[in-house]
Structure 1
Amino acid sequence: MAREVTHEERGPAVLDESDMGDDDLIYVCRCGLSDTKPLCDGSHNATADEDEGVVYKYENDDSEGERREVDEIVYADE
């Protein structure tokens, strides 16, 4: 499962103790759909039924947006 995600940030996020959850852990988004990037907000639950080997794009990079299959991701450098 892969996702095309548009990132607009141009620098790193600094995490500290205020980002820790009740379990003293910091959860970083890896699906690209979180509204609280770089922190996880549970949006990855929308990806549970994605098929292996298929690339998906969620409208507006929103877990509640329409999901469609992408034939290929074209990078700006290509």
Structure 2
Amino acid sequence: MAREVTHEERGPTILDDDDKGDDGLIYVCRCGLSDSQPLCDGSHRATADEEDGVVYKYEDDDADGERREVDGIAFEDA
């Protein structure tokens, strides 16, 4: 499975001890849907039933948004 996520940030986020969870670890989002980027907020749960080989797009890049299959990932010229 794959999903298209639009990112607008142009620089890094600096993490520090305040970003650690109760277990002392830092969880970085890999699904692209977290509202706490770059930290994980559990939004990846919405992707649990995605199928391999299919590209998905979530409305407004939101885990609660409508999910649809797309032909591929659209790239825009910078």
Question: Residue 49 of structure 1 corresponds to which residue in structure 2?
Answer: 49
- Distance of 1:64 and 1:75 partners within structure 2: 24
Question: Residue 73 of structure 1 corresponds to which residue in structure 2?
Answer: 73
SS of residue in 2 equivalent to 1:56 = strand
> CA RMSD for the aligned pairs?
0.7
- Distance of 1:69 and 1:11 partners within structure 2: 30
* Long gaps (5+) in structure 1: none
1:1-78 superposed matches below 5 A: 1-77=1-77
- Distance of 2:34 and 2:16 partners within structure 1: 19
Cα deviation for residue 74 of structure 1 reads: 2.4
**How many residues end up aligned between the 2 structures?**
77
- Distance of 2:35 and 2:76 partners within structure 1: 25
After TM superposition, the score normalised by the length of structure 2 is: 0.95
SS of residue in 1 equivalent to 2:68 = strand
- Distance of 2:55 and 2:43 partners within structure 1: 17
Cα deviation for residue 76 of structure 1 reads: 1.7
Dislocated runs of 4+, deviation >3 Å: none
After TM superposition, the score normalised by the length of structure 1 is: 0.95
Percent identity between matched residues is 77
* Long gaps (5+) in structure 2: none
